[in-house]
Amino acid sequence: MTSIKYNTSLKEYNTFGIDVPTKCLIEYDTLDQLEEILIEKDKYPTPILHVGSGSNLLFSKPYVGTILHSRILGIKEIARDDETVTLRVGAGVLWDDLVSYCVDNHLYGAENLSNIPGEVGASVVQNIGAYGVEVSQLVRRVQTYSLDTAQVRYWTNEECNYGYRNSIFKNPEIRGHYIVTYVDYRFSLLHRVTLEYGAIKSQLQSMNCSDVKEITLSLIRQAIIAIRKKKLPDPKELGNAGSFFVNPIVSEEKYQSLLSRYPSMPSYRIDDLRVKIPAGWMIEQIGWKGKSMGNVAVHKDQALVLINLGGASAQEIIELYQYLIKKVEEKFGIIIYPEVNII
């Protein structure tokens, strides 16, 4: 059933745990309910903002409009051949529940994305990625509803125009006009694993598993969860939104000049002309890893993550992140940008 609440807190709808009110909060379970809301949308306070589980959001002030949230659930097999299985998944399914389903059903592709907070709807907007895998490698088709016309529109993977932490749904002309309702993902039935990134192999070895042929999906999932737990705080214990910043991509020329100053700088090559530099490393270099400002801190194990030490206001988070941007720019001449959406 559609749930409509007025003047209610968004504390449970953002993983930073910021207690801000919204004028209206609507949650729906089905496409029919969503359609009804959209047809009658003039009844509700504006602007309308659709959110997932709020793992990438910072509400900086009381929200004067309507927050919409999908509770469309369900994981259904819609196609299968000798090598692949395609699943249609509701936008409100927790991303990690889908990963767990895939691991249990021997479907390859999502295991490196274990334990990422958030919902399926947001996964395709944000192009979530970790440990050498991005969700864009799995997406076949995205079903959306237009907020303007209440019509259904499908987007192929190519139309989603995926890039690092980017998609067409973040384009200013598209953003806010479409609501993701279902996603079709294609997984492999063949034993195809990605173990090259950073600590995966050493984690598997520490779990007494070093023969690639023996490695199961379940072991990879366990290894990824163990790596993440070492570095990333659980939002239920310490409010946070995962990586606060996107890793900046710099030109080859800029990269070479940085490398001559910082020979041990980590980096990921994108192509011949562009290199990604970890923002967490830069924040550590400016001496802010583990430091706090008021009720907000840079996480001690991963400097890309800002944490609410308890009772932080959005303003405190904003002050700290803007300070970090300034200091990183002063030292490295690189402007870093938040990955988190500030509303």
Residues near ligand EPU (CB under 6 A): 130-131, 198, 231-232, 242-243, 246-247, 266, 278, 280-281, 284, 289, 302-304, 339
Q: Which of 71, 88, 140, 165 is catalytic?
A: 165
Least gap, CB of 251 to ligand EPU (angstroms): 19
| Residue 146 annotated among the catalytic residues of the structure | no
Q: Which of 114, 136, 167, 243 is catalytic?
A: 243
What span, in angstroms and rounded, lies between the C-alpha atoms of 255 and 267?
9
H-helix or E-strand spanning residue 265: none
Least gap, CB of 162 to ligand EPU (angstroms): 14
- CA-CA-CA-CA dihedral for 310, 313, 319, 320, to nearest 10: 20
Q: How many CA atoms lie within 13 A of 168 on its CB side?
A: 16
Least gap, CB of 151 to ligand EPU (angstroms): 32
DSSP 3-state of 94: strand
What span, in angstroms and rounded, lies between the C-alpha atoms of 234 and 247?
21
Least gap, CB of 90 to ligand EPU (angstroms): 22
Q: Which is nearer to ligand EPU, 84 or 166 (CB)?
A: 166
The amino acid at 290:
G
Q: Which is nearer to ligand EPU, 141 or 289 (CB)?
A: 289
Q: How far is CA 212 from the centre of its chain?
A: 28
Least gap, CB of 158 to ligand EPU (angstroms): 23
| Residue 186 annotated among the catalytic residues of the structure | no
- CA-CA-CA-CA dihedral for 332, 334, 339, 343, to nearest 10: 110
Q: Which is nearer to ligand EPU, 47 or 266 (CB)?
A: 266
Q: Which is nearer to ligand EPU, 75 or 246 (CB)?
A: 246
Q: Which is nearer to ligand EPU, 131 or 178 (CB)?
A: 131
Q: Which is nearer to ligand EPU, 181 or 248 (CB)?
A: 248
DSSP 3-state of 107: coil
H-helix or E-strand spanning residue 303: none
| Residue 339 annotated among the catalytic residues of the structure | yes
The amino acid at 156:
T
Please give the full DSSP string across 68-83, using - where no structure is assigned: EEE----EEEEEE-SS
What span, in angstroms and rounded, lies between the C-alpha atoms of 232 and 50?
26
DSSP H helices, the chain, are 31-39, 95-104, 120-126, 157-160, 200-206, 217-231, 252-261, 279-285, 314-332
Contact 140, 86 (CB under 8 A): yes
Least gap, CB of 242 to ligand EPU (angstroms): 2
Active site amino acids: 165, 243, 339
